[in-house]
Structure 1
Amino acid sequence: MIVEGFLLFAIVSIWIAVFESVVMMYGAIRFIRREHRNPNAIPADMDHFPTVTVMVPAHNEEIVIATTVEHILGLNYPQEKVQIIVIADNCTDDTAGRLQRLKSRPAYQDRNLQIMERVGTGGKSGALNDALKQATGEWICIYDADAAPERNALFFLVQKAMEEPEKYGAVFGRNKARNRNHNFLSSCINLELVTIQRVHHTGLWELFKLGTIPGTNFIVRSALMREIGGWDEDAITEDTAVSFEILTRGQLIALAPKAEAYQQEPEQLSVYMRQRERWAKGNYRVVMDNLHHLFNTSSWRIKLHVLYYAASYFWFMIALIISDIIFVVNIVYQIIGLFNPAVVSPFQFTSDVYIYLVIAWALMYYIYVLQINLALASDIGQSNTRNFILSCVSYFTYAQLFLVISLKAFYSMVVDRISGRQNKWYKTQRFD
């Protein structure tokens, strides 16, 4: 009876997850159609645009930092309105030296480029908080040390903010994997990025005007960040934590789909696992810290935001683990039964009930592949045979890593809570 209850829970949960995915795809299709009818024009005069402080936190980033800052210096935005602060945070390499050499170039003599060599605690959040004290712009723009924003990225972010200046507290763009074809892992990460940004982000924004700032390629109103008190230095995923703070103040986080930046994704499984475990653990904590919004007078957007994260990291994860265990164990016992009919699976169900799990699992796989290819079709140059095959294969390989990562992150979070262990800023390894 208990086992049948678990099976029913898994089946219902998978169907709800499928329904959520269909809703997201519906919103994404609506968004894509509307965007195609409304192309963005870039004005020649940007005198009325606000001032912006671009902040780049960098911890031992000598490999990529100069290229990143060059891209930022080349942004299509009035130079006199841009302040750039690069924080060399607790660096033991030549990050600061490379920045100083870049700044000394004649072409950049008149640019407002500040290099902050910082020794302190708080990781990325601490670095951003120190830079916030020196920021003079009306808006804060954040780029990670490996970012390569396209020339008009900042313009599109600010343009979106100016559409509803009283409502939009932050605006975020899209991030693309610049090393997406390096190997199987980076190709799968690319599929994940494209799907999240072109289906989930667009669907949530189109249907509910709900957004979440990423760790890079976004702007936030300076006064709002100071009102919040800066970035939470105890948060592992400071971007998600700030998103909830912005929403609780009645501000929206808008999507600017044409504001794109390239970033370097992990090329080794060990690097990827450490990065994603940190993200998962941070999101677990943010969800737990914000569960109270479900039971108070917070706005429906905040409640929906909490439910969305809670479903992804708790509910659906548990359902997938249960369904995978039942499915795999039954297959194993069926194979064993071919040679030894006396062996019986510990999971015994009526054929009708079990077939519902198989149908739900098959539908989930179909929706998974469909979402990816919808996203690829909306991104020029990405809808091809190779990516289609990869989308079919990745469910059985790359997507299953989510379960392993989530379980490890949850265990690590529990150990942190019990032992009082402090989290450190884990820097994703860069490649030449």
Structure 2
Amino acid sequence: MSVLSMSIIAIHFVLLLVLCLFGLHRLSMVFRWFRYRKHLPKQPKSFEQLPRVTVQIPLYNERMVAQRIVDSIVKLEYPHDRLQIQIVDDSNDDTCELIAERVKFYQQQGIDIEHVQRANRQGFKAGALKDAMSTATGEFIAIFDADFIPHPNTLLDSIHYFTQKDVAMVQLRWEHLNRRSSLLTKTQAIMLDAHFSIEQQVRSASDKLFNFNGTAGIWRTSAIIDAGHWSADTLTEDLDLSYRAQLKGWKMIYLNHIPCPGELPADMNAFKTQQYRWAKGGVQVMLKMLPTVWRAKIPFTKKLESTFHLSNNLAYFVMLIDTLFFLVPSLLLRDKYDFLNIWWVDIPLLILSSGGHLVYLYWGQIALKRNKSRALVKVPNLVMLGIQLAINNSKAGLEALMGRESEFVRTPKTGELQENVKPEKVISMVPESIKRYRAVAPKGAIFEFVIAGIYAVVLMWAINHQHWFMLPFLLLLTVGFVTAALHSFYHHYQLSK
């Protein structure tokens, strides 16, 4: 066997091993959850006098949810003389008029609420939050995106954790207003449930570095400033600031027992837009902060956990590289050199790489005491959704690695609350001018067909060599990528009409 042939097979297995490590890390989260599942942050002392809090609501062209968030946020149970509300509005459509009308209405009732606007969107969400802080009067800043509806007692339940002087931020657990609206929202909810109930819980309880999720959290104003303030050089300003603050010595707390409901993206294009931003921003923060993490005087276990945390968005990219360049050549070389009987290596790696993620997602439902059988039934949907994100998130990771910048694209929301209401129906009930709120279908349908073709070739190869145990896995991948491609083409067609 030539050096080139050996190199191709070796690289294939190295890439599989990398994917296996990501899967094992997810599995380790589940095992660590058993240790920390009952952990609650130390019961805080109470402030003798409640501190002044500024609530910031950043939004951009959120007509569908603008009035709802303003009407909800004024219901927060907190002394009015200790509360300031800022609607941080970068909109350039009639959202501005809606906000202005509601703000004026509540100002006339004596509520300290202001409509903060800028002449441009410089810095996007990070820039808006930073600019608004120049007029913020709160010792603490609570941030809620426009599609969230915090419970009235949210501030009173969480503010006292800041009696600990070294706490920079407390993060609340997301709940989902439209969880049962569709199969897509149900599947998304399972993914996010695992992130919060397992990932955030374990990292916070074990004193590892974790992140503010961009909304449903409260920051100490001085910690934001001390950490270098909001920065717009990545698409995930929340993750970036979280790491900078913790590396400066600040602590953060995750409150799994305090939920804050928000709205999930109601259609696939909006969901892909959100995932693209999170994936690209995550890799950008990895490139920016990981060298600093490894230079920092923190325990090795923290550095290792942070490495997995910041690099996990590259898993799709690694899978794509292996599929495009090494999978088929490695199979042909095995065939040529009669080197076929090494599936005992492939299979464990494949099971660990994918199975670890599925166990992690399923266990997130157990952690929140949700219905186990319903969660088990959703496992195929989780697999299919993961396949549909493959090209989208791979492209995001590649662009970040190449240093290619892009605009912060908001995730369109419909304002739906009731169950079984399709997003298309919600959109159809609003004026034609608002239909631009629909997300643009991400590009990648051609690549999805190409990937489907590659897996179809591998499927035929497996049938020819009678590797029957591989057929279900390969068939699922082939069908998944074909479905993803057809879905992309369909939405491009819908948006072109």
| Preserved CA contact (<8 Å) 1:167 1:252 | yes
Give yes or no for the alignment of 1:53 onto 2:32: no
The equivalent residue for 2:414 is: 431
Q: 1:346 to 1:252 in 2, by over 3 A?
A: farther
The equivalent residue for 2:178 is: 179
Residue of 362, 370, 373 corresponding to 1:385: 373
| Preserved CA contact (<8 Å) 1:209 1:254 | no
Q: Could you tell me which amino acid in structure 2 is paired with residue 75 of structure 1?
A: L
Structure 2: gaps of 5 or more residues: 1-5, 416-497
Q: Could you tell me which amino acid in structure 2 is paired with residue 278 of structure 1?
A: R
Counterpart CA distance in 2 for 1:6 and 1:347 is 18
Partner secondary structure for residue 203 of structure 2: helix
Q: How does 1:231-246 map to 2 (within 5 A)?
A: 231-246=230-245
Give yes or no for the alignment of 1:111 onto 2:118: no
| Preserved CA contact (<8 Å) 2:173 2:256 | yes
The equivalent residue for 1:360 is: 349
Q: Could you tell me which amino acid in structure 2 is paired with residue 273 of structure 1?
A: K
| Preserved CA contact (<8 Å) 2:33 2:198 | yes
Q: How does 1:200-239 map to 2 (within 5 A)?
A: 200-239=199-238
How far the C-alpha of 1:310 sits from its partner, in A, is 4.3
Counterpart CA distance in 2 for 1:229 and 1:369 is 37
Partner secondary structure for residue 135 of structure 2: coil
Q: 1:113 to 1:187 in 2, by over 3 A?
A: same
Partner secondary structure for residue 258 of structure 2: strand
Q: How does 1:48-197 map to 2 (within 5 A)?
A: 48-93=49-94, 95-105=95-105, 109-120=109-120, 121-162=122-163, 165-197=164-196
Which range moves more in the overlay, 397-406 or 252-261?
A: 397-406
| Preserved CA contact (<8 Å) 2:283 2:401 | no
The equivalent residue for 2:441 is: none
Partner secondary structure for residue 14 of structure 2: helix
| Preserved CA contact (<8 Å) 2:39 2:205 | no
| Preserved CA contact (<8 Å) 1:209 1:252 | no
Partner secondary structure for residue 68 of structure 2: helix
How far the C-alpha of 1:371 sits from its partner, in A, is 2.1
The equivalent residue for 1:336 is: none
Counterpart CA distance in 2 for 1:349 and 1:166 is 66
Deviation per residue, 1:177-207 (Å, 9 max, x gap)? 2222222222221111001111111111222
Q: How does 1:387-406 map to 2 (within 5 A)?
A: 387-395=375-383, 397-406=384-393
| Preserved CA contact (<8 Å) 1:86 1:116 | yes
| Preserved CA contact (<8 Å) 2:313 2:397 | no
| Preserved CA contact (<8 Å) 1:10 1:320 | yes
Counterpart CA distance in 2 for 1:344 and 1:107 is 73
Q: Could you tell me which amino acid in structure 1 is paired with residue 407 of structure 2?
A: K
| Preserved CA contact (<8 Å) 1:154 1:259 | no
Q: 1:26 to 1:349 in 2, by over 3 A?
A: farther
Counterpart CA distance in 2 for 1:358 and 1:324 is 16
Counterpart CA distance in 2 for 1:345 and 1:352 is 9
| Preserved CA contact (<8 Å) 2:151 2:260 | yes
Which range moves more in the overlay, 73-82 or 250-259?
A: 73-82
| Preserved CA contact (<8 Å) 2:145 2:215 | yes
Partner secondary structure for residue 424 of structure 1: coil
Deviation per residue, 1:292-316 (Å, 9 max, x gap)? 22552442376345412344133x4
Give yes or no for the alignment of 1:265 onto 2:264: yes
The equivalent residue for 2:312 is: 312
Counterpart CA distance in 2 for 1:190 and 1:49 is 34
How far the C-alpha of 1:54 sits from its partner, in A, is 0.6
Partner secondary structure for residue 84 of structure 1: strand
Counterpart CA distance in 2 for 1:379 and 1:347 is 51
RMSD after superposition: 3.2
Counterpart CA distance in 1 for 2:293 and 2:268 is 36
Partner secondary structure for residue 358 of structure 1: helix
Partner secondary structure for residue 286 of structure 2: helix
Counterpart CA distance in 2 for 1:360 and 1:299 is 31
Give yes or no for the alignment of 1:12 onto 2:17: yes
| Preserved CA contact (<8 Å) 2:27 2:357 | no
Deviation per residue, 1:279-330 (Å, 9 max, x gap)? 211111111112322552442376345412344133x445544666799859
| Preserved CA contact (<8 Å) 1:51 1:138 | yes
Counterpart CA distance in 2 for 1:374 and 1:70 is 36
Q: 1:304 to 1:78 in 2, by over 3 A?
A: farther
Give yes or no for the alignment of 1:373 onto 2:374: no
Counterpart CA distance in 2 for 1:110 and 1:136 is 17
| Preserved CA contact (<8 Å) 2:265 2:412 | yes
Partner secondary structure for residue 299 of structure 1: coil
TM-score, structure 1 normalization: 0.83
Give yes or no for the alignment of 1:252 onto 2:257: no
| Preserved CA contact (<8 Å) 1:237 1:282 | yes
| Preserved CA contact (<8 Å) 2:65 2:413 | yes
Partner secondary structure for residue 116 of structure 2: strand
| Preserved CA contact (<8 Å) 1:26 1:203 | no
Counterpart CA distance in 2 for 1:322 and 1:168 is 41
How far the C-alpha of 1:129 sits from its partner, in A, is 1.1
Deviation per residue, 1:330-385 (Å, 9 max, x gap)? 9xx8xxxxxxxxx98768774553222212322444433332232112325x3253
| Preserved CA contact (<8 Å) 2:187 2:381 | no
Counterpart CA distance in 2 for 1:122 and 1:63 is 24
Q: 1:262 to 1:108 in 2, by over 3 A?
A: farther
Counterpart CA distance in 1 for 2:335 and 2:129 is 54
Counterpart CA distance in 2 for 1:191 and 1:293 is 33
Partner secondary structure for residue 385 of structure 2: coil
Counterpart CA distance in 2 for 1:348 and 1:372 is 40
How far the C-alpha of 1:14 sits from its partner, in A, is 4.2
| Preserved CA contact (<8 Å) 1:157 1:218 | no
Structure 1: gaps of 5 or more residues: 334-342
Q: 1:376 to 1:386 in 2, by over 3 A?
A: same
The equivalent residue for 2:7 is: 2
TM-score, structure 2 normalization: 0.73
How far the C-alpha of 1:46 sits from its partner, in A, is 6.6
Partner secondary structure for residue 399 of structure 1: helix
Partner secondary structure for residue 141 of structure 2: strand
